[in-house]
């Protein structure tokens, strides 16, 4: 089975095919900070999905950051 992978700006991706599913992980969409660009990205993803297709993604919210829910530190595993 061949699985195509595309790495591009979600608001500007132009390919001549549609998919049953799309994925965006590791809070990638959090890097889109302007609401217009975010809406454009979601609309563009939708254009590239087949009818009934699914888009799986993760986001962090301002509330989560304000509450320190995602504070991470690097540590030396040998310490």
pLDDT at position 71: 66
pLDDT confidence band for 3 (50 / 70 / 90): confident
pTM higher than 0.75: no
pLDDT confidence band for 73 (50 / 70 / 90): low
Three-class SS of the chain: CCCCCCCCCCCCCCCCCCEEEEEECCCHHHHCCCHHHHHHHHHHHHHCEEEEEEEEECCCCHHHHHCCCCCCCCCCCCC
Share of the chain above pLDDT 90, in %: 37
């Amino acid at each position: 089975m061949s699985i195509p992978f595309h790495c591009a700006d979600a608001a500007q991706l132009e390919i001549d095919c549609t998919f049953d599913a799309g994925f965006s992980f590791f809070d990638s969409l959090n890097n889109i900070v302007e609401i217009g660009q975010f809406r454009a990205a979601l609309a563009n993803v939708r254009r590239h999905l087949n009818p009934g297709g699914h888009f799986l993604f993760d986001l962090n919210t301002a509330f989560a950051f304000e509450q320190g829910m995602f504070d991470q530190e690097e540590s030396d595993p040998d310490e």
